[in-house]
């Protein structure tokens, strides 16, 4: 399956919301209610209890959705809200940059975390990184990850996967909140006992040098390396490429993306 990173693809933020102006119309109501109730908007549980957030969830879930998915929708809405509130910071990783980050990171855990904002979304090349499936479950291609971080020492990451042109929907995996003080350690750690982090056993992976996230720790490691790279090599950020007219590739995003390229050192 070809790896796609020619332009930024449609994001989970765009797929979640029913119309282009929905966030600008409805998300300020969440802000107002949180202010009135003195609720911490960076607490996912408090966020989900806000009546305006609940009303939006009922609207976007649809009548036929499984009620058991409410938590996934809630955490996705949480990150979508902070993505919007921060001004839609959208980064697109090119293939060369991912291959560099699989092999390289800060040495000795010495990097002091510096994020490119309080929230944002990082999109990976399509079909380059996979989450293996279990028995009877197909592997899913990782689209990217949201991050949200308050001004205190905490970082929430949400992995998004399974976005495909031939079907609706997506899957999300929320990761435990990480103290930013440990970001350098996570970026340099070895997760798998055999030391082969990000190695993939997906059939055909060796032909296109594909990668896998087999544990949440690997996803955190990758996210921390992205932040380290942006902080250490700011010249790695370039203007995103527009989608060509009449392209039959993945659905393009309407959002402006900044491209993270290799060789920005």
**What Rg do the C-alpha atoms of the chain give, in angstroms?**
18
Alpha helices in 87-213 (DSSP H): 95-103, 183-188, 205-208
The token pair that represents 207 in the structure block: 């032909």
In this structure, is the dihedral angle defined by the CA atoms of residues 146, 133, 191 and 175, taken in order, positive or negative?
A: positive
* C-alpha pair distances (Å), 149 with each of 97, 110, 136, 209, 223: 24, 21, 36, 32, 13
Question: What is d(CA 155, CA 135) in angstroms, rounded to the nearest whole number?
Answer: 32
Q: What digits encode the pLDDT tens for the residues 73-132?
A: 889 999 999 999 999 999 999 999 999 999 988 876 678 888 899 999 999 999 999 988
Q: What digits encode the pLDDT tens for the residues 167-203?
A: 667 889 899 888 888 888 888 888 888 878 888 877 7
Q: What is the structure's pLDDT at 68?
A: 60
Listed in order, strand segments (DSSP E) in the chain are: 90-93, 119-123, 129-131, 140-148, 156-161, 171-174, 211-212, 237-239, 258-260
Q: What digits encode the pLDDT tens for the residues 215-237?
A: 889 999 999 999 999 999 999 99
Q: State whether residue 143 is helix, strand or coil.
A: strand
């Amino acid at each position: 399956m070809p790896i796609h990173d020619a332009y930024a693809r449609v994001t989970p933020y765009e797929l979640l919301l029913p119309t282009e102006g929905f966030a600008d119309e409805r998300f300020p109501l969440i802000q107002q209610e949180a202010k009135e109730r003195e609720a911490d908007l960076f607490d996912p549980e408090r966020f989900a209890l806000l009546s305006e957030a609940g009303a939006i969830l009922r609207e976007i879930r649809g009548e036929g959705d499984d009620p058991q998915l409410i938590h996934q929708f809630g955490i996705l809405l949480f990150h979508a809200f902070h993505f919007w509130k921060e001004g839609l910071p959208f980064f697109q990783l090119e293939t060369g940059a991912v291959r560099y980050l699989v092999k390289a990171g800060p040495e000795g855990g010495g990097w002091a975390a510096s994020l490119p904002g309080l929230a944002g979304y990082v999109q990976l090349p399509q079909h380059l990184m996979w989450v293996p499936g279990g028995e009877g479950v197909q592997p899913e291609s990782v689209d990217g990850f949201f991050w949200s971080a308050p001004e205190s020492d905490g970082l929430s990451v949400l992995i998004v996967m399974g976005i495909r042109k031939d079907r609706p929907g997506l899957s999300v995996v929320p990761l435990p909140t990480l103290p930013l003080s440990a970001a350098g350690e996570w970026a340099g750690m070895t997760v798998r006992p055999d030391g082969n982090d990000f190695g993939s056993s997906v059939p055909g992976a060796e032909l296109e040098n594909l990668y896998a996230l087999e544990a949440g720790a690997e996803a955190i490691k990758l996210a921390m390396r992205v932040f380290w790279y942006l902080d250490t090599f700011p010249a790695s950020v370039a203007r995103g490429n527009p989608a060509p007219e009449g392209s039959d590739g993945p659905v393009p995003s309407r959002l402006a993306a900044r491209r993270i390229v290799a060789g920005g050192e």
